A and B are shown apart, each in its own frame.
Chain A
């Protein structure tokens, strides 16, 4: 990492999966449990020094409905760090509403796979800095493949694209950031998928955020040092309170990893 001529901090990003207006977490995308209220958790993570928050409406895409704007406005009023809204953003009008409600970024997953040109439309309208592409990736047939509609096990299906190809395509279309969720690692808290992230980093010129697998502080250090990602996203390890963000950041600082201490 030291070759980067930048004082940009590596970002710690709690992800709040939202279902029916509450924050939930499941293992391998199944059996979701309620972990708390959206605004309560948003405030708590802001106070702890989270660098950014991602709210992922996991019910939105499979059920073909869009995100509720009300909670986005409420979150925007109470927190003073950036946040991204994912799930159900399937056209320019919804993107416009979500950004106007106060979201700093919007993240697209399944709708971008259904209609890749939507990425171009959104990037030219709003600027690529607020267009995030979320990718659910799984190891299959000696390759990494993209999965679609992962919010609902009954609707989940293969997107018939390799992760490598899709990452290259979304950058060409105007993605400003990529969140790579490595499904084999997700929810099992055995560490980020370093090998896959390294491979994708080598072809990713925009910020790359690692997702899936964080279980302890070593996993964060490893993903920054070995995969050179810009941010690390995690949910359960923070929601359950085993790892607090101040402790994590102090420890990462000791490991010579540049983070924002508050």
Chain B
């Protein structure tokens, strides 16, 4: 049975993530309790805000040690994704280390605006089953000023000045820089893909 939990890292897009799941008939509980997280079939790490305070909140509940060892499907969204990398330049913050690499501030190449705000199109870096359920191009909604490097875990990237990772996967960990809960049908397809895995 699908039992989804949202890990409370103190962010502000919790309500819209919950609403997106409810549109798929899934009620998700917001928690920091280890036994609830371990027992869940799917775990989501959402987050809007800054890396330092969010990692502090996770650490204060011992979740920095729990999350990397979870065995069920885990989805990181936006800041939640960034926390899954080794380190973030935002506040010089040590993160969860599920993915390799450093989160860095976006640097404009010419006149690109920062924050990167709006709809950008995924560029697939490796074949992925999610691709079949998305239109081409797949437009996703982004709001952020820091981003993950493109490396072997990158499933899809986007270009805004530099090119950075939009979607990454390693084993049971999936991570989206965009907001699937605000990316219309394309975002819903991502949630459906995530929830289908077990």
Contact = CB atoms under 8 A, between A and B. Distances in A.
A7 B179 CA distance: 17
B48 A127 contact: yes
Contacts of A127: 48-50
A98 B109 CA distance: 34
Contact of A99 (B12, B20, B109): B12
A73 B20 CA distance: 13
Contact of B19 (A6, A51, A102, A260): A102
Interface in A208-234: 208, 228, 230-231
Interface in A101-146: 101-102, 104, 126-130
Interface string A162-191: 000000000000001100000000000000
Contacts of B111: 3-4, 228
Contacts of A262: 139, 184-185
Nearest to B140: A260
Contacts of A11: 118-119
A237 interface: no
Contacts of B182: 80-82, 104
A247 interface: no
Interface in B20-58: 20, 22-23, 48-50
B156 to A, nearest CB: 12
Interface stretch (B67-75, B124-132, B157-165): B157-165
A236 B77 CA distance: 35
B197 interface: no
Contacts of A250: none
Q: Taking chain A's interface residues, is the majority helix, strand, or loop, or is none over half, making it mixed?
A: loop
A187 to B, nearest CB: 26
B120 A129 contact: no
Contacts of A52: 118
Nearest to B123: A7
A144 B163 CA distance: 37
Contacts of B114: 205-206
B141 interface: yes
B113 A80 contact: no
Given A80-B182, A102-B16, A231 B49 contact: no
A100 interface: yes
Given A80-B184, A82-B182, A126-B49, A5 B161 contact: yes
B70 to A, nearest CB: 27
Nearest to B117: A207
Nearest to A102: B15
B3 interface: no
A206 B113 CA distance: 5
B7 to A, nearest CB: 17
A136 to B, nearest CB: 22
A104 B15 contact: no
Interface of A: 3-9, 11, 46, 51-52, 73, 76-77, 80-82, 99-102, 104, 126-130, 176-177, 205-208, 228, 230-231, 260, 262
> Which 4 A-B pairs have CB atoms at the shortest separation, nearest pair first?
A102-B15, A9-B119, A260-B139, A6-B160
Given A7-B123, A80-B183, A104-B179, 4 more contacts: A4-B112, A81-B184, A100-B12, A208-B113
Interface of B: 12-13, 15-16, 19-20, 22-23, 48-50, 108-121, 123, 139, 141-145, 158-161, 179, 181-185, 187-188
15 contacts: A4-B110, A5-B159, A5-B160, A9-B139, A11-B118, A80-B20, A80-B23, A80-B183, A81-B141, A99-B12, A128-B115, A129-B117, A176-B115, A176-B117, A262-B185
